[in-house]
Structure 1
Amino acid sequence: MDRTTLSHVVGRSIHQRITSTSKLKQSPTPSISDNMDQSGNSTPPDKSTRSSFSSVREIDSSDLAQNFTSTKVSSYSKLSEEAVDDLPSPPEMATQTQFIPPITQPSSRLHGCWFPAVAAEGFQGWKQIGVRGRQASKSYGDLQALKIVWSAPVLPPKEKDPERPAPGQSAIEKLPAELLGQIIDHLVLDVPPNGVSARNVDLMSLLLTSRTLHSATLNALYKNITIPHSRIFRKFLTHISQNKELGTIVRRLDFSHFNPTTLFTTASERATTRNLTPETLMQCLELTPFLREFLGQEYIENEIDAKVLRKLFFGLDRLQGVDFCGCSSTAFKNEFQSILLSDWPETLTISRLSLHRCITLPPSVFETLLPRLGKLTHLDLTGTRVTNEALQSIPHSANITHLNLSKCRSLTADVVIDFLTNHPAVKGLVFLSLGVDARSHQMFEEDDLSRLIPALPQSLRSLSLKGSKMIESHIDLLRPLTKHLEELALGRRLKIPDIDRLFVPDEDDGEDLDQQLEWIPHTLKYLDLSDYTTAELDLITLFGRNTSIMKKYSSPLEVIEVTEEMYARLAKSPVVKQLGWTVMENGSRAWLVRIHDPEDGPRDSGLRSWKMGASFWGMRKIPIACAEVGGMYGSYMFKRKL
């Protein structure tokens, strides 16, 4: 290759490289808090591979229920903080050049090549050209300063397509704002991405498309804010402080993925940075006056002081959902107690409240809160010290569909049964959990269940009686419920033949013929048998020929929860796979899961409206917002026994 050809190749290669670089420089800078820590990778993340601290994520491509990935350390810890200082090249540099004619035409001044003068002394490459005392020249600007670069030809202007709509008049821009917002919502990634992949890249492009799409995209970006670590919170707060109109868009503040150890390993480091503090959190709430959902958890409990609590309960007129999952520190308890002396309004706007595992809150908190929740629909009091009086004080105007009273030791069976039987607020229950740990607490005896089960409404889809004492006669009471229940957690002391009666009619002995003819198939998808140890749950009978639980005709039963001890035995048994099942585990829970047969059509994903975004079966915590489950909520919901 002669020098003429080489110079043209080098010039064209450099020009193409610089052209692509200039395009990168024109990329918009994201303005939404969810995207403030984006890296240079513009590839949108795969939705099924996103993860964060204690995240529970179901694998979308799998044909198995309860099939998930789980990580304990946030991928945000791998974020790089490096930045590129892409300054323009200096306009002046050494311009002494040397012309070298082609060998074949030594007298030609047209086909030769221009090189820096240093080339005569042995050219070592473009990096050796001095620029302001630095040897860093390899850019288009440096070549231009040497006057040896060719400019791209000026292209003639393109003719306007007569069929192309005028700006702002395209078909998608003419859609109603509500419909356009729903379309854009499908592009939003609420949950933090995996690794350093950028989030919401498509939405960043939409912001520059048109005024109509810009407005609709801003609403989608700022409506639900997920805070994975304190630096994202600080950037989000800075944005809404500088542009207060953006704060009016926010409807949800989600701290369920928050992990304080992502950026700082010690409490002193976190205190020094002062990104997320009671003061900054209060400032954020002041700038988001139309907030509807506040999702907290134990990792931000020290940032929730009395001022923040007053703002949440008294200062946000549109707040509907509040979650304080796992907040049990002494500081949180003291701050909550301090606001009990305030002048409380007659009614609160909150309709969904979760105090799941807030084990330190005194009974006075519930006696103050519950009588003021006249719009209540979701109530999670798992492990709290709620009293009989506080439970009965819930206003009759409430319409509770989700109720979790698991491990509430201060409640008595008689009051709970009376509440569920006679209180008008629970006539439309869909989710009810009354589970207890039988090793430390007992709520329902045999007679209590005989009074409770017949009083349960037909609207129920999930029922947990875990830890209660059950006898064979309770199966006859549960049979009508299995015609509309999808999840059922049984108590103790039943035998495998007793449980099997939930799935098939009794054998024909001449007296039950009418019952067999009128038999209605069950609707159960999930059965919790985790109260039964390996000694109580006879595997020979469970897998036996005369038992229908593991057979194909027990469908639609798909998931059976067992103990960890049972999981260790079943994982080694070849019979499980022969019957069309497999074993899975997550945290301290384990399941038998039916292997899906492609001939039966597509697998049921498990998504239900009453699960509010969750797709697993057997959730332990009530969701407060319609969103994908992950982070700390995923841990409490699907990795813990109760």
Structure 2
Amino acid sequence: MASATAPLQPKPAFPRMSSIPCGDHFHSRDSSPSPCSTPDGSRSSSQRRPSFGSIKEDTEDGIAQSFVDTHEDPSPSPSSREVQESRETKAERPGMQAPDFCCPCGGFLGWKQIRLGGKSLSRSYSDLRGLGAAQAKGWAWESHDETPKQELLPPKAPEVEVLQTPPGSSPLEKLPQRFSIKLSLTLRWIFRPMATPPKRGSGFVPTRIPHAACRDFGRFALNHMAQYPALGTLVRRLDFSHFTSVGLGRTKQMNSEIQNLTSRTLLQCLDLLPNLKECLLQEHLEGDISAEVIRKLFMGLPNLRAVDFCGCSTQAFSVVFQEALVGGPALPMTLPNLKRLSLHECSTIPAPMFDHLLSRLINLTHLDLTHTQVNDSALACIPETARISHLSLSRCTRLRPCALVEFLTTHPSVNQSLVYLNLLTDPTRFRLLEETDVSALLPKLPDTLRSLNLGGAKVTSDHVPFLVPLAKHLEELGLSSADLSVTDVNSLFGNYRNPATGEEINTPSTLCYIDLAKVPQMTIGAIFNTSTCLLLSNQSYPLQVVEFSDKIITPLRERAKTQRVSVGWTVRDLGRRGWYVRDPASVPHQPLDDGARYWKMGARWWGSRKIPMVVGDVGGLYGHYMFKK
């Protein structure tokens, strides 16, 4: 149960610790309501976990590219309070089956903050005993029968004196409120409703050991696992994507005096998780990541399959990363279990470190090196036994175009297995692929590919014969800054005859997302000229999302305000990015597509610029890097 009133002071977000199936098969997140869902399966907005500077996908809107900015609101709004009360009323409707077990969610402020009805809050033990239906007279374990107790006892049984603690005098009630909050957090490490029902015959009951407050990470969560080591053996995922130290006011002296999340407590935590398979870190923890922690991840956890260092870009992190790889005990010759690695925006790691690490990943499947110093030799070092399905080399300025094309078209680790490929660059600063490079790359891309981002590359009308066949199996295509005409764009969605060979292609397009930001000929006038542009017509279906630059999104937003009749498309934007999104109601004869795809690994919306390392909901700082930057 969560209070509808937001706290006056910012609260830290929580690391997530969860147990997932031991195999490579993951349950779909749609198979059951979330543990924090309301009884009818809907998710309350007050139950979203806040994280400073982060966003998450909003699955309630029903339209693509709907996001929730999860910044803390310092003051509650009447509308949010009214929404919460209406949802509480909805949960009490007859016929709604209450869950067998409930536990406090992340916003739980203690038993004295439980709403009794209206605006009143609980203040004592007796207030809580009165919750429930009118006939309720106490707790479930207390006797409610008015029949004298002596008549219920067998003959000759001695009388038992029932001691009633006066309201407000129980030991638990006398605890300060901060201790009751800490106690609830500790208990949540043990108890949690089942998030996903087990598959029949699997013999596995998925258990989730979720969030512990970072302020009490060592004192409660860590000590509790040390006291009960069996709990640590259940944990498969350690998720810090929602973690932030903003608002804690931490200093170096405080870190040495109290058991916050530090490099020492993080290392102790990893020591207690022998079966850990996925560890998700990010920039807010880079000061708490030591060389020992990195060595533990690469050498001390034999079951680890995925690790994410997203946004760790300080020089201090680079120093400890180098120390971990080459300054201490040598890494094993191979790291066979590590399959998914993200160094997204780890821009300070020196180029030789990539050679040292990538050459050991013999079973690599997911690699995100966005905005790093990786070079040609590091890519060539990737073992031929790897089968990479997801690869991002966006904004990697040390790569040579000819070497990159050769790697993508000939190296056994990628040339037949790619599903997601991101080569996005900003051409005003650095252009990765020139016109000849694009001509050499496009015809040799595998038909396994579902997402291709060539943003910033020198794409021209001469490349349309290569783009059209790709549009018959791609679902995402990034062409920002391309030199294409409206006719060229139409060719992706209509029938096309190759002018060189005379071959006609009339297979329907599979594109659901296309990035046309900064394409000079895509103007407002051209977009809405339905006689010459197919982009917004039903003929472009299943296209759902078109990404434009702010130069187009701003007038589109103003146009929507003044238009009386909907054109079937709406504006969505977030941070630096903006999209024109098709309203599902405009194509009622088509099946509703929620955007979920196996290769998105839990994400639903389109145009992600960060590769997920695990299957799960999009949120926290990862959501910021995926869709906001």
Q: TM-score, normalization: structure 1?
A: 0.70
Letter in 2 for 1:501: S
- Alignment partner of 1:561 out of 531, 540, 547: 547
Q: Match for residue 502 of structure 1?
A: 492
Q: Match for residue 332 of structure 1?
A: 317
Does residue 542 of structure 1 match 2:542? no
Separation of aligned partners in 1, 2:622 and 2:127: 51
Secondary structure of 2:230's match? Answer: helix
Secondary structure of 1:561's match? Answer: strand
Separation of aligned partners in 1, 2:264 and 2:468: 55
Secondary structure of 1:375's match? Answer: coil
- Alignment partner of 2:583 out of 595, 618, 625: 595
Letter in 2 for 1:456: L
Task: Compute the displacement of 1:599 (Å).
Answer: 2.4
Alignment of 1:217-256 (within 5 A): 220-222=207-209, 225-226=210-211, 229-232=214-217, 234-256=219-241
Alignment of 1:235-634 (within 5 A): 235-264=220-249, 269=254, 272-339=257-324, 340-341=326-327, 342-348=329-335, 349-426=337-414, 427-491=416-480, 492-506=482-496, 515=504, 518-532=505-519, 536-544=521-529, 545-574=531-560, 578-597=566-585, 599-634=588-623
Cα 1:236–1:584, aligned 2, differ >3 Å: closer, same or farther?
same
Q: TM-score, normalization: structure 2?
A: 0.71
Separation of aligned partners in 2, 1:573 and 1:331: 48
Letter in 2 for 1:240: M
Separation of aligned partners in 1, 2:516 and 2:344: 23
Letter in 2 for 1:523: T
Cα 1:577–1:411, aligned 2, differ >3 Å: closer, same or farther?
farther
Per-residue displacement from partner, 1:375-429 (whole Å, max 9, x unpaired)? 1000000000001101110000001000000000010111111111110111110
Separation of aligned partners in 1, 2:145 and 2:49: 47
Separation of aligned partners in 2, 1:494 and 1:564: 19
Cα 1:356–1:231, aligned 2, differ >3 Å: closer, same or farther?
same
Separation of aligned partners in 1, 2:194 and 2:187: 13
Is the Cα–Cα contact under 8 Å of residues 55 and 69 in structure 2 kept in the other structure? Answer: yes
Structure 1: 5+ residue stretches without partners:
1-31, 36-40, 85-135, 141-149, 159-195, 208-214
Cα 1:282–1:199, aligned 2, differ >3 Å: closer, same or farther?
closer
Task: Compute the displacement of 1:335 (Å).
Answer: 0.6
Secondary structure of 1:338's match? Answer: helix
Query: How many percent of aligned residue pairs carry the same amino acid?
Result: 39
Is the Cα–Cα contact under 8 Å of residues 229 and 262 in structure 1 kept in the other structure? Answer: no
Q: Match for residue 135 of structure 2?
A: none
Is the Cα–Cα contact under 8 Å of residues 482 and 524 in structure 1 kept in the other structure? Answer: yes
Secondary structure of 1:572's match? Answer: helix
Task: Compute the displacement of 1:269 (Å).
Answer: 4.9
Per-residue displacement from partner, 1:500-556 (whole Å, max 9, x unpaired)? 2111124899x96x62xx510000000001233xx5422212211211111111100
Q: Match for residue 43 of structure 2?
A: 47
Q: Match for residue 147 of structure 2?
A: 153
Which is richer in helix? 1
Is the Cα–Cα contact under 8 Å of residues 226 and 257 in structure 1 kept in the other structure? Answer: no
Cα 1:33–1:434, aligned 2, differ >3 Å: closer, same or farther?
closer
Task: Compute the displacement of 1:137 (Å).
Answer: 11
Separation of aligned partners in 2, 1:345 and 1:555: 50
Is the Cα–Cα contact under 8 Å of residues 573 and 579 in structure 2 kept in the other structure? Answer: yes
Cα 1:536–1:263, aligned 2, differ >3 Å: closer, same or farther?
same
Is the Cα–Cα contact under 8 Å of residues 340 and 365 in structure 2 kept in the other structure? Answer: yes
Task: Compute the displacement of 1:139 (Å).
Answer: 12
Higher relative contact order (CA 8 A, sep 6+): 2
Q: CA RMSD in A?
A: 3.7
Greater CA radius of gyration, 1 or 2?
A: 1
Q: Match for residue 64 of structure 2?
A: 65
Separation of aligned partners in 2, 1:471 and 1:255: 42
Task: Compute the displacement of 1:42 (Å).
Answer: 12
After TM superposition, what 4+ stretches of structure 1 lie above 6 angstroms from structure 2? 32-35, 41-45, 74-78, 136-140, 155-158, 196-202
Secondary structure of 2:584's match? Answer: coil
Cα 1:493–1:268, aligned 2, differ >3 Å: closer, same or farther?
farther
Per-residue displacement from partner, 1:602-624 (whole Å, max 9, x unpaired)? 52111111100001100000000
Is the Cα–Cα contact under 8 Å of residues 466 and 531 in structure 1 kept in the other structure? Answer: no
Is the Cα–Cα contact under 8 Å of residues 57 and 629 in structure 1 kept in the other structure? Answer: yes
Cα 1:139–1:435, aligned 2, differ >3 Å: closer, same or farther?
closer
